Amino acid sequence: MPPNDKPYIEIVADRCKGCELCVSVCPKDCIELDTGAVNVKGVNPAKYVGGCVGCGSCVQVCPDVCIELYKEEKAKKSA
Amino acid sequence: MQTTKSHPKSLFPVSTHYCAGCGHGIVHRMIAETFDELGIQDRTIGVAPVGCSVLMYNYIDVDTIEAAHGRAPATATGLKRVRPDCIVFTYQGDGDLASIGTAEIIHAANRGENFTTVFINNAIYGMTGGQMAPTTLIGQKTETSPYGRKSENEGYPLRACEMLATLEAPYYIERVSVATPAKIRKAKKAIFKAFKYQVEGRGFTFVEVVSTCPTNWGMSPTDAMKWSEEYMEKAFPLGVFRDRGAEKDKTETGADK
């Protein structure tokens, strides 16, 4: 885990099906398919390459719920 | 540094059997998040349909009953009447709700049964291999309409929300989409509202989610999302068709003034 306070994401590579939806919605192009790796499903999983701004679009769109977003929690908490 | 978006507690951390880019996973997550937020996981009973999401109980961590094809609303009616303290929801696809189960959903809605239905509309029969559904768009090619659906032969796409909105009893009806992150956020709000109304015991709540089927549409997941936004949302306009809660709030605040 990076020890700075910038937002970042973690991807559970073995649950990724390589659908590329996260790649298509990321406004900062900080996710790409890892062509150098193959996961248990036999696909190239998504890989975080840095530059996350914490918008959470990838988390919203991931159908396999394999992206976790880490960022400073705001004081306001909505139910 | 804290995690602000993590895996919902009510969703098993397992890999789903859905195809890459399938909208079911997104809707499962939204439902599981809603259970976490409302704190109703331990008293919720789901009714699974026949279709791709028949194995829903492997993913959403609540008690689930598998109903006969299309009969989920009838099963849910019985469940809710026997256990009114439980939160009951049905999760149905368009093959389940809009074709074989049309009678069940209409009459359950007409009775104003106090459960929630989440209707996944992807305009095709996914599990059986891409045959035409009642919701298939005019001109859309499927296995059983290889030259495109023709209205003179197969009729027009069935609009479940509009149909149910003609009834008096339903409390909340909304159609949402999962085509973009912004629309997914809206969809989450709609699903949350539907379950909240049920917890408050208000009546029948119905959320239709315009989803995708990349495999049977023959597109990449990204293209399927674009196609959904461009064509599906034209045939199935998004919006709130009935929200008695908001109407009530409006008249109440109006009366206060």
Question: Please, what are the averages of pLDDT over each run of 10 residues along chain B (257 residues)?
Answer: 78 94 95 95 95 93 95 96 96 93 95 96 93 95 94 94 95 96 96 96 96 95 95 95 86 62
**A18, part of any domain:** yes
Would A77 be classed as within a structural domain? no
Q: Does A72 touch chain B (CB under 8 A)?
A: yes
What is the spatial distance between Cα B219 and Cα A24, in angstroms, rounded to a whole number? 15
Number of domains, chain A: 1
- Interface contact A73-B7, CB threshold 8 A: no
**In this complex, do B15 and A15 lie within 8 Å of one another by their Cβ atoms?**
yes
Is A75 a domain residue? no
- Distance, CA of A29 to CA of A51 (rounded, Å): 8
The pTM is what?
0.92
- A17 CA: distance to closest CA in chain B (Å): 5
The pairing of beta strand B205-210 with beta strand B172-177: parallel
CATH number at residue A42: 3.30.70.20
Closest Cα partner for B11 from B53, B56, B61? B61
- What is the Cα–Cα distance from B126 to B191, expressed in whole angstroms? 23
Of B22, B37, B222, the CB nearest to A20: B222
| Partner A, chain B 128-157, Cβ-Cβ below 8 Å | none
Within a domain: A17: yes
Q: Which residues of A touch B222 (CB under 8 A)?
A: 19-21, 24
Instruction: Kindly report the average pLDDT of chain A as a whole number.
Output: 87
Q: pLDDT value at position B5?
A: 75
Q: Hunting for tokens 């397992």 — which residue is that?
A: B14
Nearest CA in chain A to B220: A19
Residue A2 predicted with pLDDT over 80:
no
Do the domain assignments include residue A76?
no
Which tens digit of pLDDT belongs to each residue from A27-41? 999 999 999 999 999
Q: Are the beta carbons of B213 and B143 closer than 8 angstroms? A: no
Cα separation, A24 vs A7, whole angstroms: 19
Torsion sign (Cα): B36, B41, B44, B49: positive
Count CB atoms within 10 A of the CB of residue B150: 11
Rounded CA-CA distance B185/B136 in Å is 25
Cα atoms found within 13 Å of the Cα of residue B74, Cβ hemisphere only = 12
Taking residues A10-39, what's their average pLDDT? 93
Determine the Cα–Cα distance for residues A14 and A5; give it in Å rounded to an integer: 27
ipTM (interface predicted TM): 0.88
Range(s) of the domain holding residue A13:
8-70
Residue B67 near residue B75 (C-beta atoms within 8 A) = yes
Judged by a CB distance cut-off of 8 A, whether residue B19 touches chain A is yes
Contact A65 B29 (CB under 8 A): yes
Say if A27 falls within a structural domain.
Answer: yes
- Taking only the tens place, the pLDDT of each residue in B143-167 is 999 999 999 999 999 999 999 999 9
With both helix axes pointing from N to C terminus, report the angle between B102-111 and B72-82 in degrees, rounded to the nearest 10.
30
In a domain, A78, yes or no: no
Whether A3 has a pLDDT exceeding 70, the answer reads no
Cα B169 from Cα B13, distance rounded (Å): 38
The helix or strand, by DSSP H or E, that contains position A9, with its residue range, turns out to be strand A8-11
Domain-embedded: residue A2: no
Domains defined along chain B, listed by start: 23-256 (3.40.50.970)
